[in-house]
């Protein structure tokens, strides 16, 4: 689990700013989970901003229970900001 104080130095982004990083408007493909924003751009599973029935540029916290994996999957990606 990531400690909140270890991410305090990260820039903050609004939901509107996150939505712009959806894989179609810009090269960045970002997703949020539990208040943190992850850069999933390098993942082949997020090409074009879509991962199965999930879309990039949004908070996926409420969608994780339907996923075939746990939150550990976010450990594969760089945390680049905090969702405000």
Winning range, highest mean pLDDT, from 12-16, 19-23, 24-28, 58-62: 12-16
pLDDT band at 35 (very low <50, low <70, confident <90, very high): very high
Q: 4-83 has which CATH code? A: 3.10.120.10
Task: Report the phi/psi class of residue 30: left, alpha or beta, with left for phi > 0 and alpha for psi in -120 to 50.
Answer: beta
Compute the average pLDDT of residues 65-76.
83
H/E segment holding residue 39? strand 36-39
pLDDT given for residue 63 in this prediction: 80
pLDDT at residue 84 greater than cutoff 80? yes
Rounded distance between C-alpha atoms, residue 59 and residue 61, angstroms: 6
Domain ranges of the chain: 4-83
């Amino acid at each position: 689990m990531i400690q909140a104080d270890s991410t305090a130095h990260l820039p903050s982004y609004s939901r509107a700013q996150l939505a712009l990083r959806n894989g179609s408007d810009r090269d960045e493909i970002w997703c949020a989970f539990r208040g943190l924003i992850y850069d999933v751009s390098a993942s082949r599973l997020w090409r074009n901003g879509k991962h199965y029935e999930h879309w990039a540029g949004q908070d996926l916290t409420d969608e994780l229970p339907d996923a075939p994996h746990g939150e550990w999957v976010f450990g594969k990606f760089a945390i680049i900001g905090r969702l405000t």
